[in-house]
Amino acid sequence: MSEKQNDKWAEELKELPIFNMSLSSKELFHSNFIGWILETYPVEMGKKFSEVLGLEKNEKIENVQREKNNIDLSFELGDTLVLIENKVKSIAYKEQLDKYSKYKIPKDKDKEAKYILLSLKRPTFFDNNKDKTPNYKEWIYVSYEEFIGEYLELLLHSKIDEYHELLIRDYIKFIDILDKKIMQEIDNTSIVNFYKKDTDENKLFSTLKEIRMHDFFQKGLFENLAQSICSRLGNDSVEVHLGKREKGKNYNKTVTISHGMTRAVGLLDANSTHKCNG
């Protein structure tokens, strides 16, 4: 990607009013915006979520909750309680999803819980089988690309308020730029060149800083690197664990690979308890 191309899509993004409104708190902004859509069009959006979750009949969305009990978004869909973890500037990790999947449904609600991860990036530990919806245990992954391309496009084909349509189209354009100009570059970017001056990758880094997405981009780069190392190291004699170490678990003969950020720079950590002979 050339510097000129960088400037073009970044300037286009900065011109969108809805992007500028999101800068104060990106993930909270998206959760609030999506929550508004669910509350405003409960029948239309309920139809799509019922389809995705494999419910026998289309249900109307009710009782939308935001930021309750550490859950970004939740709502009721007939006999189902839908819990959504929303990731825009960060990457989901196993331990977090495992914790949230232990959510206790209130005793006064006879509901079955369904879990959705809505994220710009599919975590590397999710199922790669393209013949079915990628998942991790009871979590269903929905990409932002899918959300704007199917959920919101379905809504735009319904009879909705004219002003609401303008807002939603602006939001679709916003997410489309993030997906096509940022997400697709994560898989094509060299970490070495990303920090090396006078490279196209480093110019991209500077552009990402301008729109405050450089931290997310680095998290994606280092997650991919951690997964790549795990794939290369795995063998019969050494177990490779991706993620944080769990308390009380025996990690003998194990290499633990984790990723994250420190001081606004991507981080990869490798820890081995495997003792070599000789």
Q: Which has the closest alpha carbon to 7: 184, 204, 146, 140?
A: 204
Whether residue 277 lies inside any domain: the answer is: no
100 with 85: CB under 8 angstroms? yes
Taking only Cα atoms into account, the Rg of the chain, rounded to an integer number of angstroms, comes to: 21
Q: Identify any residues that bridge with 74 across adjacent strands, giving them in sequence order.
A: 65, 83
What pLDDT, on the 0 to 100 scale, is given for residue 132? 54
Q: Range of 208's domain?
A: 188-272
* Residues 103 and 237 occupy one common structural domain: no
What is the number of domains present in the chain?
Answer: 2
Last residue of a domain, one of 182, 216, 251: 182
Q: Decide if 120 contacts 216 (C-beta within 8 A).
A: yes
- Do residues 168 and 48 share a domain? yes
The answer to the question of residue 261 being in a domain is yes
Please indicate, yes or no, whether residues 174 and 198 belong to a single structural domain of this protein.
Answer: no
Q: Is 82 helix (H, G, I), strand (E, B) or coil?
A: strand
pLDDT attached to residue 276: 47
Q: What letter does residue 129 receive in the DSSP assignment?
A: -
Q: What is the pLDDT of residue 225?
A: 81
51-94 pLDDT tens trace: 989 888 888 999 999 888 888 999 999 999 999 999 988 888 88
End-to-end CA distance of the chain: 49
Per-residue pLDDT 10s for the chain (278 aa) are 444 455 688 888 788 877 777 766 677 889 989 999 999 999 999 999 999 898 888 889 999 998 888 889 999 999 999 999 999 888 888 888 988 888 877 766 778 899 999 998 888 888 655 555 568 888 999 999 999 999 998 889 888 999 999 999 999 998 898 888 777 788 888 888 888 888 888 888 888 888 888 888 888 888 888 877 777 776 655 666 666 666 666 666 677 777 777 776 777 777 776 554 43
pLDDT digits (tens, 9 = 90+) for 37-52: 999 999 999 999 999 8
| 44 is a domain residue | yes
Asked whether residue 57 falls in the same domain as residue 83, the answer is yes
Q: What is the pLDDT of residue 239?
A: 63
Q: What is the pLDDT of residue 2?
A: 47
pLDDT (0 to 100) of residue 228 = 78
- Chain mean position to CA 161: 29
Is the pTM higher than 0.85? Answer: no
pLDDT of residue 223: 83
